[in-house]
Amino acid sequence: MDRCRFQEVDAIMTVPDFGSLEGRVVLITGGAGHIGSTLRSAFRSVGSSVATVDITETDDDPTDDDGWQHFTVDVADQESMSGTIDEVVDIFGRLDVIVGTASWMGDSTTPGWNAPFEQQDVSLWPEVLDLGVTANFSLVRLARSALAENGCGSVVLISSLYGFCAPYPAMYHGTGINNLAGYAASKGALTQLARWLSTMMAPEVRVNALSPGGIFRDQNPDFVNRYKERTPLGRMASEDDLIGPVLFLASDLSQYVTGHDLVVDGGYSVW
């Protein structure tokens, strides 16, 4: 019986759980990052095989885990990614899920990036949009046949609260943290890309976005406190808060969900 579909017993539809991900193969971009490595462990815990892709090596060692392979590849390099998809299918025999977490973030030393509005450098935008949007489109297009083959293909693109919500400037004053227009624009585009792909990939493959709120990473305490005050659940997110929502969108639990942006922000955007 096809494990990629609900099973019926005495005409009563049974309810699947994350166990529907057992034996499926997941490709995670940005796999060496905070979110990517957390999701890799989560998928492995429910029995999925995982291929992580990142421009850098992972801090963990995949050699003792035959269900995990890491590929040091530039996600924005179409030729390299085409070869990587072929290699993933050769190693694991299939490809069922793509989770796109890769995003161009720069750092505090990148001139014109973590900067006030009037100092943000538009020359950085092509890199931001190339990795955050174009590379995701290219990846899904390259993988479309493999994703569709087994009837349970799912794509989850990690967007952001700021893909649909404007910043609150007072929250950033005096913290050394800035809200970045290029990042927000790329995430807004990514959410719309998920909607666009959802109709183009249907009915064999579902495509959804997931928009987290701010994730706590030892930011300036004033910023953290202001963020908490504006969030109904009273805290910033952690990477672990994304595990359940991503597994839901990847699994049979969401088999009638596509073209959706699942907001995971502790209620921040509800005000």
Q: Please say if the pLDDT value at position 217 is more than 60.
A: yes
Distance in angstroms (rounded) separating the CA atoms of residues 90 and 49: 13
Q: Are 44 and 68 in contact (CB under 8 A)?
A: yes
Q: What is the pTM of this model?
A: 0.92
Beta bridge partners of 262: 210
pLDDT-derived band at 40 (thresholds 50, 70, 90) equals: very high
Q: Are 51 and 28 in contact (CB under 8 A)?
A: yes
Element (H, E) at 157: strand 153-158
Mean pLDDT, the chain, whole residue set: 92
Angular region, 55: left φ>0, alpha ψ -120 to 50, beta rest: alpha
Six-digit token string for 61: 């060692």
Q: Please say if the pLDDT value at position 64 is more than 90.
A: no
Q: Are 4 and 203 in contact (CB under 8 A)?
A: no
